[in-house]
């Protein structure tokens, strides 16, 4: 039995059923799971002193487009709204290769790890030049994060009234066949799973209603989760009304896209009736505050969603619309936006941290993650309470108000992925050099 004892943490924020917080306590890891949390624990295995540190569950990223790391801050797209932003970037993305998808996923997951993330979803909806979902799955293995890739798709091109160019869309029969292939080949439903595959048509403006309906049937037959973009901004809602004669929530409900096996990205423009629908059906939301700000989409009604009982997690979204992927920063932004709209008491640091940990794990159907309690998976973030940004804090647990922006130690399934602020699983400087050179190549070809 392999044991690791995290010893004498200044504060442990468990996010367990009682939301317990311990001071001067320990976390015992055994064979990839949490065996105990509390004071004066003992172990015959490895001991890591956590003195002057805050321990939290690993953060959970519920929405990303990892491939977009190669198109950060593209000048022509920097100040565009969603639809114009997409039209600017589609031609660049169409030139990407399978190696580009692998490289960008490695870089993006490394960035997430250093920001305290242990579990990340990814929404990959275009496959140019022979790219496949497993390009990202293999990258996740090299970094060591728990991964929830989704087989996305676009099937309605410009000539048929959709947004993407025709050469980036796929035949719907081919999409469904490949979805079956990747679920059968890579999905692991076990509690300790490092890879669970979901199915994720891109959006109402890039796939048909028939495909949305067929994918919902397929996902439930296979026992996997469903994901898409919904109600992201005013353009998105206007498209739904014009093309389908209904709001996005009704569109989702009509096609079988509500339930506890579904989560939608953004949902900035959900109205009260749609929030009630999602609460009643336990349909999840991936809230992406930085991306929503970057694209001028608006502020999602997270306070209203939470109060109604909608499951809400956080997502960094693509690194061409954020343009960073820092989960601890994303949680802070979520807290600040609710305060801007509703007042300083609208959301506190501990609630926003809950959304970023337990909330995200629940949205992704992973109740064994996102909390520190016996039997949960050992996905753990250790933060330096003496870091520059934390110095002077009277409450070291309020990490979103005053705390480190980079994790000190990170464990995934009990394996140390970050040690003393350094990634242990790959050569990060070499990766950055390769990634940066490839981004220059794409820019020069534009």
Give DSSP secondary structure letters for 78-134: TT--HHHHHHHHHHHHTT--HHHHHHHHHHHHHHHHHTTEEEEEEEE---GGG--TH
pLDDT in tens, 290-347: 999 999 999 999 999 999 999 999 999 998 889 999 999 999 999 999 999 999 999 9
Alpha carbon distance 163, 438 (integer Å): 27
Domains of the chain: 3-57+372-423 (2.30.40.10), 59-363 (3.20.20.140)
pLDDT in tens, 335-378: 999 999 999 999 999 999 999 999 999 999 999 999 999 999 99
Task: Tell me: pLDDT of 50 over 90.
Answer: yes
DSSP-derived pairing of the beta strands 3-13 and 53-57: parallel
Q: What is the pLDDT of residue 416?
A: 98
pLDDT above 70 covers what percent of the chain?
100
CA-derived radius of gyration, the chain? 21
**Does the predicted TM-score (pTM) go above 0.95?**
yes
Q: What is the pLDDT of residue 204?
A: 87
Q: What is the pLDDT of residue 25?
A: 98
pLDDT band, very low/low/confident/very high, at 161 (cuts 50, 70, 90)? confident
The set of residues, in sequence order, having a beta carbon less than 8 Å from that of 233 and lying 6+ positions away, is 81, 82, 266, 268, 269, 295, 296, 297, 298
pLDDT in tens, 262-280: 999 999 999 999 999 999 9
Mean pLDDT of 35-59: 96
pLDDT in tens, 188-208: 999 999 999 999 999 988 999
Task: Tell me: pLDDT of 223 over 90.
Answer: yes
Q: What is the pLDDT of residue 444?
A: 93
Using alpha carbons, list the distances in angstroms from residue 139 to 98, 102, 116, 298: 11, 5, 18, 33
pLDDT in tens, 409-433: 999 999 999 999 999 999 999 999 9
Comparing C-alpha atoms, which of 131, 116, 81, 10 is closest to residue 360?
116
Taking all residues of the chain, what is their mean pLDDT, rounded to a whole number? Answer: 96
Contacts 24+ apart (CB under 8 A), 105-108: 105/66, 105/67, 105/135, 105/136, 105/139, 105/140, 106/139, 106/142, 106/143, 106/426, 106/431, 106/435, 107/69, 107/431, 107/432, 107/435, 108/64, 108/66, 108/69, 108/319, 108/325
pLDDT in tens, 9-35: 999 999 999 999 999 999 999 999 999
Q: What is the pLDDT of residue 83?
A: 87
Task: Tell me: pLDDT of 96 over 90.
Answer: yes
Task: Tell me: pLDDT of 159 over 90.
Answer: yes
Alpha carbon distance 214, 209 (integer Å): 9
Task: Tell me: pLDDT of 1 over 80.
Answer: no
């Amino acid at each position: 039995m392999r044991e690791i004892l995290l010893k004498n943490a200044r504060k442990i924020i468990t996010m367990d059923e009682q939301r317990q917080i311990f001071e001067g306590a320990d976390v015992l890891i055994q064979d990839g799971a949490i065996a105990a949390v509390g004071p004066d624990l003992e172990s015959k295995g490895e001991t890591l002193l956590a003195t002057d540190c805050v321990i939290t569950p690993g953060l959970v990223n519920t929405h990303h487009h990892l491939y977009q790391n190669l198109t950060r801050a593209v000048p022509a797209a920097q100040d565009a709204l969603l639809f114009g932003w997409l039209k600017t970037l589609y031609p660049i993305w169409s030139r990407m290769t399978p190696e580009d998808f692998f490289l960008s996923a490695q870089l993006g997951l490394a960035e997430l790890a250093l920001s305290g993330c242990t579990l990340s979803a990814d929404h990959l909806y275009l496959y140019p030049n022979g790219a496949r979902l497993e390009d990202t799955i293999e990258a996740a293995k090299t970094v060591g994060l728990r991964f929830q890739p989704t087989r996305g798709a676009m099937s309605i091109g410009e000539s048929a009234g959709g947004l993407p160019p025709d050469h980036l869309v796929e035949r719907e029969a081919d999409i469904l066949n490949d979805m079956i292939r990747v679920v059968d080949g890579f999905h692991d439903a076990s509690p300790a799973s490092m890879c669970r595959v979901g199915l994720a048509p891109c959006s109402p403006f890039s796939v048909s209603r028939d495909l949305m309906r067929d994918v919902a049937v397929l996902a439930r037959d296979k026992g996997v989760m469903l994901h898409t973009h919904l109600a992201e901004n005013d353009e998105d809602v206007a498209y739904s009304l014009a093309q389908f004669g209904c709001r996005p929530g009704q569109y989702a409900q009509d096609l079988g896209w509500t339930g506890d096996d579904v989560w939608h990205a953004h949902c900035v423009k959900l109205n009260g009736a749609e929030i009630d629908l999602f609460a009643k059906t336990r349909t999840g939301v991936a809230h992406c505050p930085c991306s929503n700000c970057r694209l001028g989409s608006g502020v999602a009604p997270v306070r209203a969603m939470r109060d109604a009982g909608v499951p809400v997690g956080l997502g960094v979204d693509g690194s061409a619309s954020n343009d960073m992927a820092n989960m601890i920063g994303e949680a802070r932004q979520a807290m600040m936006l609710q305060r801007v709209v509703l007042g300083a008491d609208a959301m506190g640091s501990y609630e926003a941290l809950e959304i970023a940990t337990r909330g995200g794990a629940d949205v992704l159907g992973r109740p064994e993650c996102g909390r520190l309690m016996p039997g949960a998976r050992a996905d753990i973030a250790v933060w330096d309470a003496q870091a520059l940004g934390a110095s002077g804090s009277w409450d070291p647990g309020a990490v979103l108000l005053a705390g480190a922006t980079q994790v000190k130690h990170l464990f995934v399934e009990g394996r140390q992925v970050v040690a003393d602020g350094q990634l242990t699983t790959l050569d990060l400087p070499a990766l950055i050099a390769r990634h940066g050179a490839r981004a220059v190549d794409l820019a020069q070809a534009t």
